[in-house]
Amino acid sequence: MIKAVRVFARQQMPNYRRPASFLIKESYPLPPYSSVIGLVHNMCEWKEYYPMRVSIQGGFASTVSDYAINYAFGAIPLDRAQLKVDSGGGRQAGIARMPRSYELLGDVTLLLHIIPDDPALIADICGALNYPPVYPSLGRYEDLLQIEEAGVVELVESPESFTAKYDAYVPLGSIDPLFSQNITGTIYRLGKVFQYDNGKAKLVAPDKKSMRVWKEVVMARHICAGMELASFPGILYDSQNSDGVYPA
């Protein structure tokens, strides 16, 4: 039996930006693993990375397009930059400011299960989510997360078959290959854990020149609510709430 922190939350109009979208800031249908793990670390005020598995489920009512100011940092000539900042050593860096269209998801519902590698952290996670030290956000910094419930549940092996109650990310390794031909949905390559290019898996950059690289990426299929799923070792079940759980 495995213990996990079960979180039920809502968001009004978040954007979970897809990295490859530029002219229009497209959104994933659900937050990626790295965003949820970052939320947990931020609420717990951890400065070091603690390994964990997370299951991400939910849904949204509609999508809308919104205009917002976008800031581009990088090798922008100073004579073309709208803003300038001190980059150290007496030098300046340019920042371009321009309008961009953002895809927003309306009336988002989220069901998250958090399973830390160290079970002793469960109480800390549950306490931080029930009494957050700062306002919780998921997606962009301004995308407020309304946590309606956070508690500890016990997970068991999934029954022979069950119906998914929410849209969800299901890691490809959690689906029985013989059954996967009956599963439809877009496959996403989702970042989970990053490290800096000097090999350090820290939450704070060791120096200004360090860049993030993905240390762990999950290939997951986005399934829809109402889909029939078969039992497989990678899929767990919350019998108290009749929820399938798909940790990665």
Q: pLDDT tens across 136-166, in order?
A: 999 999 999 999 999 999 999 887 788 899 9
* Mean pLDDT estimate for the chain: 88
**Per-residue model confidence (pLDDT) at position 79:** 81
Q: Are 122 and 155 in contact (CB under 8 A)?
A: no
Identity of the residue numbered 60? F
Q: Are 54 and 115 in contact (CB under 8 A)?
A: yes
Q: Which of 4-18, 114-128, 207-221 has the lowest mean pLDDT?
A: 207-221
Selection from 102, 101, 124, 104 nearest residue 52 by Cα: 124
Calpha distance 24→149 (Å, rounded): 33
Domain(s) of CATH 3.30.70: residues in the chain: 2-61+107-239
CA 60 from chain centre, in angstroms, equals 15
Class of domain 2-61+107-239: alpha beta
- Residue in this structure with the two tokens 């700062």, named with its chain if needed: 134
Selection from 200, 50, 184, 218 nearest residue 125 by Cα: 50
Q: Which distant-in-sequence residues (6+ apart) come within 8 Å of 89 by Cβ?
A: none
Calpha distance 212→139 (Å, rounded): 18
